[in-house]
Structure 1
Amino acid sequence: MTTETAAKKDIQKLQRAIVDGLEDVKAQDIQVFNTEHLSPLFERVMIASGTSNRQTKALAASVRDAVRDAGFAKPRMEGEDNGEWIIVDCGQAVVHIMQPNIRQYYHLEDLWGDKPVRLKFGADKPAVKAPAKTAAKTSAEAKPATLKRSSAAKKGVSEVFPSKAQEKKAAAKKAAAKTAAKTPAKKTVASKSAGAAKVATKAPAKKSSQPSGTKPAAKKTAVRKA
């Protein structure tokens, strides 16, 4: 009983890997059939279409890699040279990758399609966890940026809400600026008053002692006696 359960899980895992490989390269009209009652050689037949030789070859290679990555033996392939119909033999499952006209002509669904298997196509693949070292490195790289942003935020707060020490420093600068502005003004006033005093003291010396409107007396000439 345990062996049958394990075999059933294996075939489910295999068909899931094959479908994922087909979906990765955009295969069309994927069909899965249970063939246990028809052949003792394999349990599943899967049919998919590719629009060109290039796509059918890419589909076959994708299925091969997906099956091998899932832990199964490397499949055997036939028909790669032509590309119109490629058979991928995965042991318990056989995959037929065909171009639409070939698929329509041979119509393998009539031969193997008694018991279709329902699968969830387009299923989400399990996310791959990043290594611990990579995660640690990412957090370490992100840390300086966080510190940088926090320091910038602190700077902005101090500019908007200055501390008491900053306020005192600003007041001292304003007082010094006022003192420096007043000092030159006092010197200028003092220099102006001193100049005015000099002019006032010199003015009387220049004025004549004679009243205005009178002519100056003629100088007496000394007459020598003969």
Structure 2
Amino acid sequence: MTATAAQRHIQKLQRAIVDGLEDVKAQDIRVFNTEAMTPLFERVIIASGTSNRQTKALAASVRDKVAEAGFAKPRVEGEDNGEWIIVDCGAAVVHVMQPAIRQYYRLEDIWGGKPVRLRKTPPPAVAQAASAVTAAKPARTRTPRQGAAEAKGAAADAGGARRRKTRDDA
């Protein structure tokens, strides 16, 4: 595999993982390039879930998205308690943690040497659908509203002083 093919491969894997995390509303997703730190994997991805149920759902979503993208089915550890789940995707390792556990172990300090910027682009199908909707909408035309000056003029013609309506006026 050439260097550019390997780079595309890891980017595709990284995108599948991040998509899986975003689908279940993971918090504080961080991606770190670990190529220079270890030969075992190229990316460490850390994300938080607010409950055991959410961390388990995040891990399952990552597992499913990675498999859908054509990669080998990841191995998962820690699903029993759900406080810290590790999803081993081969070239990338995902740590799904509850905030207290994440703060205690501070994995960002260990692996955080070289963060990877994530592009906030929608998946291609969503982007195409959004552009199609935008293109199909007619231009909005505004009709002029009665100006404030006209309204003031009408009030002045009515006697100048405004008074409050009472039940007797109706």
Regarding TM over 0.5, the answer is yes
For 1:124, the equivalent position in structure 2 comes to 122
State the one-letter code of the partner of 1:37. Answer: A
Shift of 1:127: 1.6
2:108 aligns to what? Answer: 109
AA aligned to 1:127 is A
Aligned-partner SS, 2:10: helix
Q: Deviations over 1:49-80 (max 9, x none)?
A: 00000000000000000000011000000000
Deviations 1:187-222 (A, max 9, x none): xxxxxxxxxxxxxxxxxxxxxxxxxxxxxxxxxxxx
* CA deviation profile, 1:77-112 (whole Å, cap 9, x unmatched): 000001000000000000000000000000000000
Distance 2:67 2:124 in 1: 17
Q: Where does residue 14 of structure 2 map in the other structure? A: 15
- Runs of at least 5 residues in structure 1 that lack an aligned partner in the other structure: 129-226
Q: Deviations over 1:27-69 (max 9, x none)?
A: 0000000000110000000000000000000000000000000
Write out aligned runs for 1:1-226 (5 A): 3-121=2-120, 123-127=121-125
**TM-score scaled by length of structure 1:** 0.55
> 3-state SS of the aligned residue for 1:94?
strand
State the alpha-carbon separation in 2 of the partners of residues 120 and 78 from structure 1.
28
Give me the whole-angstrom Cα distance separating, in 2, the residues matched to 1:124 and 1:111: 30
1:10 & 1:55 partners in 2: Cα distance? 28
**C-alpha distance in 2, partners of 1:57/1:9?**
28
Percent same amino acid at aligned positions? 80
Partners of 1:92 and 1:56 lie apart in 2 by 21
Distance in 2, Cα, partners of 1:28 & 1:99 = 10
Distance, in Å, in 1 between the alignment partners of 2:119 and 2:98 is 23
Q: Aligned-pair distance for 1:126?
A: 2.0
**Relative CO higher for 1 or 2, CA cutoff 8 Å, sep ≥ 6?**
2
Match of 1:48, SS state, is: strand
> How many angstroms apart in 2 are the aligned matches of 1:101 and 1:45?
19
Distance 1:21 1:110 in 2: 24
- Give the 4+ runs in structure 1 shifted more than 6 A: none
**C-alpha distance in structure 2 between counterparts of 1:54 and 1:84, whole Å:** 9
| 1:104-144 deviation per Cα after TM superposition (whole angstroms, max 9, x unaligned) | 000000000000000113x211228xxxxxxxxxxxxxxxx
Partner-residue secondary structure (3-state), 1:31:
strand
- The alignment's C-alpha RMSD in Å is 1.1
The aligned residue for residue 139 of structure 1 is: none
Whose Rg is larger? 1
Tell me how many residue pairs correspond in the alignment.
126
